[in-house]
Structure 1
């Protein structure tokens, strides 16, 4: 009986271990980004795996290297641990900065965003590009299967990564964000994109996603758009329940 209980205990410990993200950090030019990394179950160091870069929203900024997994952790564990084995990295953007170069103005209950004021990368974005490049060149990653996705501020960062690294990503998803439509020309036809937004978003107006969709479609990019009626800013809850997203994402290869 004791031996059976021990086997069950070891199995549960093993399962919990597989479900854990591991803390990591990356520093270059004196600037550090903490991040979490998850390897697939039964990870084989002799093989190369798809890579997913996941970018969090503004509310999860900081230095604790934990909050960036507030939204999407279960989604990533449920799909990329075993069903679609992939390496996942989830960096954390420091406080008081953004992934993308965007101007934000808040007056009363209304917030507006302006994109494309400068091509200069924020320190977080510059370091993020180095981090992704480091992983891609690590020998652990199938370079034809690199993906990125994010929500809110992370969606804005996703759009910016696509034009800063135009030959990198096979597919991407962007949830309730926005970006500089003038940069679409730099990643047109290189990356398939699925855009999501709630029609009642009071934080990031849905028009930003609609504009990106129209610009990408007009430029000939492979793009899908899903708008959730009467859903506010938390549309990622709906997205992470979408059973088509992950197979769609990994069906693309560069």
Structure 2
């Protein structure tokens, strides 16, 4: 991935992410390319792009390669065998094969979620197993993936009647670029506060929004605070390290709740000021974040009554640090796997909050928290002692989505009956997949939580 150009004072780098509209050069950058019927050695492949995906638990991975051909591909009802193609990836100086799971034609460079043989078109989609050890698109920073993948057709592809659809070739084509749905819709920018401290950010505009003076429609603003693992200078991993921002920007969510999504990134070196060695509570970062939110809301058609904070891990710590200092600014917050100062909870008893945490979290312990400041359990107790009515629920974090949301819906009904605007979900020990700290995998995919959030207004 290329670096993102820095800007100052709330400028947005237009055109920084437009990979979904794939350009059509005269020919792909290739070692050579698969042949086709009647091509006499000329490449019918115009372009190759990797398709990546940000998933709730597996983060950012390469899930497919899209080949754009000069001609329409139609297997005439036949199925293209995965064994007809070989794909290798060179990542971190090591070249290894990827597992091809499905191959089909398509009308666009995107994965077709439907079962079947695809739709005839100029694109050939080669799906890859996301469980491959070399499938990640990033480590602490994005990997340089341009031309990192090689695709070779090793067997003829034939229609059921025997006609050759695509001929095998000893040559390989390499990818020109990388497509990441939803992430590519964010533009990149940076903000410099009154002290000269700079925060990079990514911005997703509401679906159908046209920025113009005097716009009559005003939109909610969702501010997402990433975890400690996404502290960097790449202005990317706050989107791809987890789905906290992406889930609010995906098309189906924007159709239901059009909103600005603002995803700032804590820069390197890690500030680490203060006794608890956090990032979003560092005085410089917190000050710049507050100014960024104010400046953005003032300069865009934002509904000032509907500013929302969402965060995970140290991002949740940032929420519990910022809300007491700006108790009349935000309409609601969702905080996952956080920790904080119990002494300040009395200042936010009026703010609608939905918090969740795995009970066996080893990174930010559910009760003990970090650096002498308690985890979510202690913060909820402090809110209750200060006068807030907290509605609590416990269930497994590995439940199917429908059952998980049914539990959330029941908890919300209980809260409404009790006149409570603070909800606390605890995930039973041994039920959070991959790592008990990753409690957020279902949080931001949970339509009940998101609907609750957008229902709140200051």
Query: TM-score band, normalised by the shorter chain?
Result: 0.7 to 0.9
Offset at 1:202? 0.5
**Residues 206-245 of structure 1: matches in 2 within 5 Å?**
206-207=366-367, 208-221=375-388, 222-229=421-428, 230=430, 231=432, 232-245=436-449
Equivalent position SS for 1:143: strand
Residue ranges of structure 1 left out of the alignment (5+ in a row): 3-7, 10-15, 105-112, 114-119
Offset at 1:99? 8.8
Asked whether the equivalents of residues 25 and 35 of structure 1 are also in contact (C-alpha less than 8 Å), the reply is: yes
Offset at 1:125? 1.0
Q: Does 2:213 correspond to 1:43?
A: no
Match of 2:89 in 1: none
Question: Deviations 1:31-87 (Å, cap 9, x if unpaired)?
Answer: 110000101110144121000100000000011100111212431223642211110
Q: Does 2:336 correspond to 1:175?
A: yes
Offset at 1:126? 1.0
Question: Deviations 1:107-151 (Å, cap 9, x if unpaired)?
Answer: xxxxxx9xxxxxx95211111111011122224210000100100
Q: Does 2:189 correspond to 1:24?
A: yes
Q: Does 2:242 correspond to 1:71?
A: yes
Asked whether the equivalents of residues 55 and 157 of structure 1 are also in contact (C-alpha less than 8 Å), the reply is: yes
Rg (Cα) greater in structure: 2
Offset at 1:217? 2.4
Match of 1:196 in 2: 356
More RCO (CA 8 Å, sep 6+): 1
| Equivalent residues, number | 231
Identify if the C-alpha distance between structure 1 residues 35 and 102 changes in structure 2 by more than 3 Å, giving closer, same or farther: farther
Q: Does 2:276 correspond to 1:103?
A: yes
CA distance in 2, matches of 1:40, 1:204: 34
Offset at 1:98? 5.6
Residue ranges of structure 2 left out of the alignment (5+ in a row): 1-70, 72-106, 109-180, 368-374, 389-420
CA distance in 1, matches of 2:293, 2:325: 12
Match of 2:452 in 1: 248
Equivalent position SS for 1:36: strand
Offset at 1:216? 1.4
CA distance in 1, matches of 2:443, 2:347: 26
CA distance in 2, matches of 1:27, 1:36: 14
Please, which of 318, 327, 330 is the counterpart of residue 157 of structure 1?
318
Equivalent position SS for 1:132: helix
Question: Deviations 1:186-218 (Å, cap 9, x if unpaired)?
Answer: 2221x1001110111010001110011111123
Identify if the C-alpha distance between structure 1 residues 100 and 157 changes in structure 2 by more than 3 Å, giving closer, same or farther: farther
CA distance in 2, matches of 1:164, 1:122: 12
- TM-score, with normalisation over the residues of structure 2? 0.47
Equivalent position SS for 1:125: helix
Match of 1:107 in 2: none
Asked whether the equivalents of residues 56 and 153 of structure 1 are also in contact (C-alpha less than 8 Å), the reply is: yes
CA distance in 1, matches of 2:442, 2:247: 11
Offset at 1:253? 0.5
Equivalent position SS for 1:127: helix
Question: Deviations 1:199-248 (Å, cap 9, x if unpaired)?
Answer: 11010001110011111123233310001112300011021232211110
Equivalent position SS for 1:225: strand
Equivalent position SS for 1:166: coil
Asked whether the equivalents of residues 334 and 353 of structure 2 are also in contact (C-alpha less than 8 Å), the reply is: yes
**Residues 126-141 of structure 1: matches in 2 within 5 Å?**
126-141=287-302
CA distance in 2, matches of 1:149, 1:100: 22
